[in-house]
Structure 1
Amino acid sequence: MTERNFRRYSLVDVEIVGHLAYGISFKVEEGVTGFIDKADVSDTSTSPADWPVAGQIVTCITLGIARDGRVRASARQSDVFLARSVDNPDQALRRWAVIRDRKFATLPELEEFFASRESIPLLEWARRQRVGSADRTRAAEIISIMPDELRRRLG
């Protein structure tokens, strides 16, 4: 595979090779290996007994290349959902970081976010993050002020 195939937040099907103290090892194809950190195995806390087993194919998103050359990935369903739901997950998450950290400076910025195709997938993703995280906390704030029609789309 080429570097292009591993751009951040791209979808990739991996074959689980085994469990490690820090997560799961996998292969993408012959000669291309990687790992899923235990924090990125699931949206909920799971024990290694609940992790995918050797030979299982799992859809992940790539997080980058580790210093040792292995592919880093996330199998969290919220991450996979977001990657499938927006045209450019990297750009969407960068936009979300600004919204999360800076808040909205003006009403037009808030309205622009609500009108974007990314608003619902980003809020779905953010509210699935860990309790107390900045992403989940900010999503709750935004959901509380969003128009009812959009809130219903969140389900």
Structure 2
Amino acid sequence: MEAKAVNSHGWPLRRYVTVAGVVSSHKFYGLLLRLENGDEGHVDSSDVADHPVSPADWPPVGKSVKGVLLGPTRMGRVRLSLRDSDVALVEELRDPEADIEQWAALKEVGAGNVNARDAFFASSGAVPFLRWALVRPSYSSDKKLAEELLIMAPRGIKSRLGLPE
């Protein structure tokens, strides 16, 4: 698969890959990072951790971090997530971009769409995505979809998630 540019400067990295960086500053809206290729990255305050954390608990300036490349901001900066669950999900998926597109399509049509649901259950991303979605906040559409899917999930998927069949 060809790499896609994700910022206005044409940086050739695919979305949904992990990248390393160093925290360069704290802003009221989040973190700025210096990425391994020299570009500046941005982490929104809501993407610093899996649960809301105060700026006092953000990684300090100078700390090396690993994040997931989400795409460009409106201003052309590279946007990232430092959430542990997002990094773990992307590292577990075989083809993160395709698997994330499949999840987004399933969210759009809903768990009641038999073809989309069965294709999801047959995919290598089913268990990682369900594991990830089940720890999202209770108001999350991802968590709601995962809970709906679990009602209809095959035994093997429930078993791999450590849930009763």
Unpaired runs of at least 5, structure 2: 1-8
Kindly state the Cα deviation for residue 130 of structure 1 after the two structures are TM-superposed: 2.3
Counterpart of 1:3 in structure 2 is 11
Deviation at 1:40, TM superposition (A): 0.5
Percent identical: 35
Q: One-letter code of the match for 2:146?
A: A
Asked if the contact 2:32/2:41 (under 8 Å) is kept, the reply is yes
Of 85-94 and 15-24, deviating more is 85-94
**Counterpart of 1:129 in structure 2: which amino acid?**
R
Q: Whole-Å Cα distance in 2 between the matches of residues 144 and 119 of structure 1? A: 14
1:116–1:102 distance in 2 versus 1, CA, 3 Å? same
TM-score by length of 1: 0.87
Higher share of residues assigned helix: 1
Deviation digits for residues 88-124 of structure 1 (CA, Å, limit 9, x no counterpart): 2222111111212212423x54333222111001112
- Picking from 33, 37, 45, the partner of 2:40 is 33
- Alignment RMSD: 2.0
Query: Which ranges in structure 1 are unaligned for 5 or more consecutive residues?
Result: none
TM-score by length of 2: 0.83
- Aligned residue pair count: 153
Moved more, 134-143 or 59-68: 59-68
Aligned equivalents of 2:116, 2:131: Cα separation in 1: 19
